[in-house]
């Protein structure tokens, strides 16, 4: 894996990270985009001057700190691949924190420099310790990759019931076994995830089509019933049917969505530069858009990584679109479609062109996407179930992988420390978010085991 060779980046890669961090801090300062989906709804009050920069910064820090230090840093150190929690959540905070526009990109560039130069040093120091907890954390890759495969099954079960969920589970298991047997060089979950997501989308579209047909028949039946009541009843029924679908002209949400989309379109060139930068970073294969993606890229499974992040795109599109239209602030990675496109691009020039084009299309189509999502309720619900299923599968996978890492670095004592820290975090009301609590516990546990070794109270396991 990449972590075995350290986190050495070439000069072009270092410059790309630093410049992109500077750019993301600038757009955050301008309240044009943030990476944290939880922060985006708060941006509306900031844009309209109803809250202060310092208050918005505090919200961003509170919602992001756990992910930065508990998930972003451990994932980067264990996989050897950078991730958006490590790069873009800090630039959200630094951009909002900067009191002056010119200072924001300087702070962002400074963070990028810390990442590209400091992370490699931390990696080398950690690998030289008696208890090498970074190598142990690579144990997380197997449960993350394989349990992540089940997210379509969870989404189908939640939305369409146990029968469909059980059928999807059997199909995915059979496809995983088939892939391992017939195509051993392919990531075993790739085909299974593809079929699961297609089944979910197919079921959602089918439900929407059936519901539309039922609605049309109901309206036709109501019209016939009104017509049988006489001329006046027919005329009244026709007037009611014609008037029913017309939305109110003074709809406040429609007005807000229109103004937010127009605000983002005014900065289209800047967004195109942002899209180009994110896509180029992905093309360099030093960056992964998610937990599973990071380990796939570290293992050299680039096409499978693109596949995984393509599914994330479906899960997060409705959330990003609606929060962007409601707040006037977009996502740093847009709808995240630039990730899989970037992985597959043959060179940085084509990646930059593709990323700029994708962001331009996303910004220009934002209002239309919002309207389409409003007409496909089941598909919109599927995206929410997909997003929740991704979170649930990864939470279990990360916890299980963290315990495997604890066992690798300290056997029973390691499990006691890491599991105990995770349970303590739960008992204290989760001051560290659940997704990040287990990897953070591994880092703390690794430090404690090294301290115990130096006190001659613990003998590291032989590798």
> How far is it, in rounded angstroms, from Cα 169 to Cα 195?
11
Between 316-320, 352-356, 400-404, the lowest mean confidence (pLDDT) is in: 316-320
CB neighbours of 403 closer than 8 A, spacing ≥ 6? 415, 418, 419, 438
Residue 243's pLDDT band (cuts 50, 70, 90): very low
**Per-residue pLDDT reduced to its tens digit, 104-137:** 999 999 999 999 988 877 777 877 888 888 888 8
Span 205-210, mean pLDDT? 83
Does the pLDDT of residue 249 top 70, yes or no? no
In angstroms, the CA 72 to CA 6 distance is 16
Spell out the residues 6+ positions from residue 355 whose beta carbon is closer than 8 angstroms to its own: 275, 276, 277, 278, 279, 280, 338, 341, 342
Mean pLDDT of 336-356: 95
pLDDT exceeds 80 at position 374: no
Q: Measured on CA atoms in the order 179, 340, 123, 436, is the torsion positive or negative?
A: negative
**Residue 189: predicted pLDDT:** 84
Residue 287: closest CA among 355, 197, 237: 355
What average pLDDT does range 303-316 have in this prediction? 86
**pLDDT higher than threshold 90 for residue 15:** yes
Residues of the chain with pLDDT > 70, as a percent, come to: 91
Given pLDDT bands bounded at 50, 70 and 90, which one contains residue 229?
A: low
In the chain, count H helices and then E strands: 22, 2
CB atoms within 10 A of CB 432: 22
């Amino acid at each position: 894996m990449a972590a075995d060779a350290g986190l050495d980046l070439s000069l072009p890669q270092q410059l790309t990270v630093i410049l992109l961090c500077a750019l993301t801090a600038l757009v955050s300062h301008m309240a044009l985009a943030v990476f944290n989906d939880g922060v985006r709804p708060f941006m509306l009050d900031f844009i309209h001057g109803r809250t202060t920069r310092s208050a918005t910064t505090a919200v961003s820090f509170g919602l992001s700190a756990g992910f930065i230090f508990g998930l972003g840093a451990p994932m980067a150190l264990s996989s050897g691949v950078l991730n958006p929690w490590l790069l873009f959540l800090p630039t959200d905070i630094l951009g909002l924190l900067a009191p002056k526009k010119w200072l924001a990109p300087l702070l962002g560039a400074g963070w990028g420099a810390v990442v590209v130069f400091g992370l490699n040093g931390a990696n080398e120091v950690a690998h030289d310790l008696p208890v090498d907890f970074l190598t142990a954390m690579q144990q997380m890759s197997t449960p993350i990759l394989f349990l992540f495969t089940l997210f379509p099954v969870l989404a189908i079960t939640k939305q369409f019931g146990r029968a469909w969920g059980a059928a999807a589970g059997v199909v995915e298991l059979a496809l995983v076994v088939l892939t391992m047997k017939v195509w051993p060089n392919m990531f075993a979950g790739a085909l299974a995830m593809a079929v699961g997501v297609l089944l979910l989308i197919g079921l959602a579209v089918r439900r929407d089509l059936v519901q539309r047909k039922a609605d049309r028949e109901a309206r036709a039946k109501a019209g016939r019933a009104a017509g049988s009541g006489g001329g006046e009843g027919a005329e009244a029924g026709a007037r009611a049917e014609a008037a029913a679908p017309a939305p109110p002209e003074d709809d406040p949400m429609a007005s807000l969505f229109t103004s937010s989309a127009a605000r983002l379109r005014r900065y289209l060139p800047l967004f195109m530069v942002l899209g180009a930068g994110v896509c180029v970073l992905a093309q360099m294969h030093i960056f992964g858009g998610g937990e599973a993606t990071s380990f796939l890229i570290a293992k050299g499974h680039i096409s499978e990584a693109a596949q995984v992040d393509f599914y994330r795109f479906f899960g997060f599109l409705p959330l990003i679109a609606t929060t962007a239209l409601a707040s006037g602030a977009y996502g740093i990675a847009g709808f995240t479609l630039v990730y899989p496109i970037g992985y597959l691009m043959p060179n940085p020039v084509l990646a930059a062109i593709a990323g700029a084009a994708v962001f331009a299309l996303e910004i220009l189509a934002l209002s239309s996407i919002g309207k389409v999502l409003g007409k496909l309720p089941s598909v919109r619900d599927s995206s929410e179930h997909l997003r929740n299923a991704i979170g649930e599968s990864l939470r279990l996978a990360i916890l299980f992988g963290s315990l495997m890492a604890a066992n690798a670095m300290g056997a029973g004592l390691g499990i006691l420390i890491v599991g105990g820290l995770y349970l303590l975090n739960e008992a204290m009301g989760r001051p560290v978010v659940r997704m990040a609590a287990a990897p953070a516990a591994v880092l703390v546990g690794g430090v404690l085991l090294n301290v115990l070794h130096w006190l001659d109270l613990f003998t590291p396991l032989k590798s």
